[in-house]
Structure 1
Amino acid sequence: MTVARPAFKFIDLFAGIGGLRVGFESIGGQCVFTSEWNKFSQQTYRANFEDDHEINGDITKIDEADIPGHDVLLAGFPCQPFSIAGVSKKNSLGRAHGFADETQGTLFFDVVRILRHHQPKAFLLENVKNLLSHDKGNTFRVIQHALDELGYDVDHKVIDARHWVPQHRERIFIVGFRRDVPTRFSLDDVIIPEGTRPTLKDILHPEDGTETAEEPFTTGKRAQVASKYTLTPNLWKYLQNYAAKHKAAGNGFGFGLNGPDGIARTLSARYFKDGSEILIRQGNGIPRRLTPRECARLMGFDRRGSNQPWKIVVSDTQAYRQFGNAVAAPVAIAIAEAMAPWITNTVALQPRRRKIA
């Protein structure tokens, strides 16, 4: 049996559960190196991708010369030092953030040393929108300068996954092509889906028997959402009181309550704590969390009725953390498709330009 030669090779750094990888495999790329330090994310990654290479751990302990040659570098480098929530938490604890955060912020420079050594044709980096404004813009200027010094033409854009999934999820994507690579690439080339935008009904369990029950998420002949996802009366009362308190103080803090025609707030890694950012209305008056399967759909890792659903092999707590930290897969696919003609030198396939709203 002849195995098709990959169109290009790529590496997946700070891989999480492989959101960026989904995009670049979809255009014919082969992943030749993976680095992810979290053991639970490694379990999910291993369950959903077939590899002939091991998943490496801490990237700071890996010599760049030991990483295989590659055409494209992917990296969703840690966002906590730059996120609004992350900065707020570190400030409250009296801890440094951004590049002053020795445990996470400086991991960008591990991306730099690997780019410097291997000089791949292209890269794609992902982070939170707040990276642009962190430290009055100085953090992003440092990043731009470092990438420019490496010899790359760089473009960046904040893209909202709302175009593909029923969730407002703004993330910054940074794309670079080596200057000796003939390219006119722009993130404006990313094609936005046309037509009606998805709503939560596209990802929620229908609970009417048209879906096969999937323990432990749904049960019974009608595949109804398991009762454990319904908030306890005490937690629901607490969230209502908390929201009322902050509303009275003129703050915007509170829970997000949605019906099937709604659009979710951003799913975060803290969702396992109380689910407050995305709660689903129920007939008994007490809302519920999304199930991990619904989170997989909300992030675009699988679709309702799929013959190959995303494998969820960890606890609910870990699954919520993983999806909350992940890159929305359809966004990665759309960016990969826009980059593909320049990666594979098939410029005739260059997509038509469409401005991202």
Structure 2
Amino acid sequence: MKSVPTDPDTSKPTAAEFFAGIGLVRLGLEQAGISVVWSNDIEPAKEEMYLGHFGKGEGHVFRPGDVGEVKGSDMPPRLDLAWASFPCTDLSLAGWRRGLSGSESSTFWGFTNVLREMGKDARPPVVALENVVGFATSHGGEDLATAIRELNDLGYSADVLTLDARRFVPQSRPRLFVVGALNPPADEPVPNSELRPDWLLAPFGDPSLKTHRAKLPAPPPPLTSGLSDLVEQVGPDGWWEDKRREAFIASLSPMQAERLEKLKAQKSLTYRTAYRRTRKGKPTWEIRPDDISGCLRTARGGSSKQAVVEVGEGAVRVRWMTPLEYARLMGAGDYTLNNLRSNQALFGFGDAVCVPVVSWLAEHYLVPLLLGKLQTRTAPELAVVNG
């Protein structure tokens, strides 16, 4: 494993972020003391947001375009971490489940090809993959196993864990992470069920895979409220007109309508989010029962956008969620939103990684791993891993 330089000018670990989107991974890594020096994304609208927030600073390269066109020789001369939040479209439970052979999620191979071209001596000591939890069950778990085998072939042992953004912000957003290490840490004695629940243990029991389970602290408990504190105060014109609001209420199921009436009778205002779904061929709205947002998604259609419901004191108001609310729910409330189209901002945030999730993972796992501060394997353990 390469050591991290201690020279004052280069003391921070360096990272490249593939599929960088609007740069929320960069925000999280930098909060934990990792310097992001290289980024790549194919979407011009996301590049516009990325550069609009971070600018074209010295010491950082943004490489636009298809990851399949990136070469190992394009990488910085020193790279400690490679992060890849490759597209989830073919792995999501809401998608076609084509897996790693799908047209979008197959870009994973473009990422690993860059690592392969870098060569054994220049390859970063740590890699991190991020995706939806459906990655664990796609094709009966074979897609995740295939990704781990690919990392193994590049010399990495792999750890697999899950974190929900709800542990940091009032948004339900579970995600899966794979951490690859050329010099893996020692296994924790007992699997941490909060980070590695039963449905995620299959890779660790597969003798054909090189895996490890780093001992990590328990993450914060899931939040049970907080959405109302993040709601943006907008003027009367920002809310739907009466006809549209009534159509919203009329679409509710009896259970949903009863829920709304109880909230309406309260003496104080409260906020809920709602999704539009199709039930028995008809569009209907469903309101969450708690003060937590549903998972933010890319705004490619009305069904993927969340509405905000203000209810109480005998009244109901409804509107679409705003870009600022998306930013706040992703832990990036100070993100630059000037001169952005609303759908551009919603698309960028809905397709991103929650900032404090990245920061927690980097602070407690990636940085200690890079600095050699995690307990290392014994010689017999290394012999098993290196097969």
Letter of the structure 2 residue corresponding to residue 333 of structure 1: S
Contact 2:90 2:102 in 1 (8 A): yes
**Which runs of 5 or more structure 2 residues have no equivalent in the other structure?**
1-6, 188-211, 255-275, 376-387
1:19–1:326 CA contact under 8 A, matched in 2:
yes
1:1-357 aligned at under 5 Å gives the runs 4-50=9-55, 51-52=57-58, 53-57=60-64, 58-68=66-76, 69-87=78-96, 97-102=98-103, 104-116=104-116, 117=118, 118-179=122-183, 186=213, 189-193=216-220, 197-205=224-232, 207=233, 224-225=234-235, 227-230=237-240, 233-234=243-244, 237=247, 240-241=250-251, 249=280, 254-257=284-287, 262-270=291-299, 273=302, 277-282=306-311, 284-302=315-333, 309-313=334-338, 314-339=340-365, 340-347=367-374
Q: 1:333 deviation in Å?
A: 0.4
SS at match of 2:10: coil
The change in CA–CA distance for 1:139 and 1:226 in structure 2 (over 3 A counts) is farther
Tell which deviates more after alignment, 160-169 or 275-284: 275-284
Alpha-carbon distance change, 41 to 231 in structure 1, aligned in 2, over 3 angstroms: farther
SS in 2 for 1:85: coil
Asked if the contact 1:272/1:317 (under 8 Å) is kept, the reply is no
Q: Structure 1 residues 247, 124: CA separation in 2 closer, same or farther (over 3 Å shift)?
A: closer
Report the alpha carbon displacement of residue 279 of structure 1 after superposing the two structures with TM.
Answer: 2.8
Query: Is contact 1:191–1:338 with CA below 8 Å preserved after alignment?
Result: no
One-letter identity of the residue aligned with 2:69: K
Taking the aligned partners of 2:279 and 2:302, their CA distance within structure 1 comes to: 24
Q: Which has the larger radius of gyration?
A: 2
Partner secondary structure for residue 287 of structure 1? strand
Distance 1:228 1:66 in 2: 46
Q: Which amino acid aligns with 2:325?
A: E
Q: Measure, in 2, the Cα distance between the counterparts of 1:132 and 1:54.
A: 32
SS of 1:262's equivalent?
coil
RMSD: 3.2
Relative to the length of structure 1, the TM-score reads: 0.77
List runs of 5+ in structure 1 lacking aligned partners.
89-96, 208-223, 303-308, 349-357
Label 1:239 to 1:19 Cα distance change in 2 as closer, same or farther (>3 A): farther
* CA distance, structure 1, for counterparts of residue 300 and residue 215 of structure 2: 32
**2:85 & 2:40 partners in 1: Cα distance?**
11
Structure 1 residue 248 displacement after superposition: 7.4
Count of residue pairs brought into register by the alignment: 312
**Which secondary structure state, in structure 1, belongs to the residue aligned with residue 22 of structure 2?**
coil
Does the CA-based 8 Å contact 2:299-2:305 persist in structure 1?
no
User: Which range is displaced more, 70-79 or 29-38?
Assistant: 29-38
For the residue of structure 1 that corresponds to 2:108, the secondary structure is: helix
Change (3 A) 1:36 1:239: farther
| Distance (whole Å) between structure 1 residues aligned to residue 95 and residue 42 of structure 2 | 19
1:169/1:150 Cα in 2 relative to 1: closer, same or farther (>3 Å)? same
**Structure 1 residues 232, 29: CA separation in 2 closer, same or farther (over 3 Å shift)?**
farther
Q: Kindly tell me: are residues 107 and 201 of structure 1, through their superposed partners in 2, closer, same or farther at Cα, counting changes over 3 Å?
A: same
Report the AA paired with residue 257 of structure 1.
I
Per the normalisation by structure 2, the TM-score is 0.71
Amino acid of the structure 1 residue aligned with 2:67: I
